[in-house]
Structure 1
Amino acid sequence: MPSQPSKELVVVPNPHPNTVYDVEMNCAEFTTLCPMTGQPDFATLTIHYQPKDHIVELKSLKQYLWSFRDEGHFHEDVTNLILNDFVSAAKPRFAKITGDFWVRGGIATKVTVTYREEAHA
């Protein structure tokens, strides 16, 4: 059965929750629609995070990113939405998402948003 877009990010237990390590995923085929023109906007998304108790299952990430293909979002908005959903699902120590959007009208846009778990005293 073919895959479908989904807003659900599935997480699984981190096999090394006591180790601080970095994961970086590059998603070179991200698309969303310009909310002003309806034209497609293309980007490479880079997701960099330090897992804590969970890691994000990659097929669900692919389906999640696919869910933006037919939605209208400004670059700043969609990058922040993805970070917020990612942090909500995975609850990482650290996460940074960079949306490197292709040139449109002579302007390329790069948006970077960061989350850092607050230290608890």
Structure 2
Amino acid sequence: MHDSQTPSTGTPSAESSSMKYGEREIQEGQLITFPNPRPGRRYEIRVTLPEFTCKCPFSGYPDFATIHLLYVPDETVVELKALKLYVNGYRDRYISHEESANQILDDFVAACDPLEVTLRADFLPRGNVHTEIEIRHVKDGQGT
């Protein structure tokens, strides 16, 4: 081997250390919907997102949760890959348990306008404290 040659170190080059395609998709992610295939029929859609992460706004420590979403669609249904990318966008945000759950619900309602939706954020215990946030939204005129 000549001095001008360097063995492969397995370290990524500057070119490959730029933003990865998944990071780009997460950064650009937004909730999108498609037409409900059965408008007028009441049915429930349950979605579980078991890998939610965000950061504590006080300590910076990571928080981990499972997000449970149960909704009755009206005119539109949320696209699942878009929902996944949207939720993954929280991983580097400094945000409380309460605010993250409420913001996800607000954004979901704004995008999808369901008849009813319940969101439950079940956070893993940290420091001997287990937190669950549950929020319900009912579309005006749909009762409780």
Number of residue pairs aligned between Structure 1 and Structure 2: 120
Shift of 1:7: 4.6
Indicate the residue corresponding to 1:56 in structure 2: 78
Which of 85, 107, 119 is matched with 1:85 structurally? 107
Aligned identity (percent) is 36
CA distance in 1, matches of 2:103, 2:57: 15
Gaps in structure 1 of 5+ consecutive residues? none
Q: Secondary structure at the match of 1:72?
A: coil
Structure with greater proportional strand content: 1
Q: Secondary structure at the match of 1:79?
A: helix
CA distance in 2, matches of 1:89, 1:63: 14
Which of 21, 35, 42 is matched with 1:2 structurally? 21
Letter in 1 for 2:39: P
Q: Secondary structure at the match of 2:43?
A: coil
Which of 51, 72, 83 is matched with 1:29 structurally? 51
Shift of 1:118: 1.2
Q: How does 1:89-100 map to 2 (within 5 A)?
A: 89-100=111-122
Bigger Rg, structure 1 or 2: 2
CA distance in 2, matches of 1:102, 1:119: 36
Name segments (4+ residues, structure 1) moved above 6 Å. Answer: none
Q: Secondary structure at the match of 2:131?
A: strand
Indicate the residue corresponding to 2:133 in structure 1: 111
Gaps in structure 2 of 5+ consecutive residues? 1-19
CA gap of 1:113–1:7, structure 2 versus 1, over 3 A, is: farther
CA distance in 2, matches of 1:15, 1:25: 17
Letter in 2 for 1:118: D
User: RMSD between aligned alpha carbons?
Assistant: 1.3
Shift of 1:96: 0.7
Indicate the residue corresponding to 2:60 in structure 1: 38
Q: Secondary structure at the match of 1:76?
A: helix
CA distance in 2, matches of 1:104, 1:36: 14
What is the TM-score normalised by the length of structure 1? 0.95
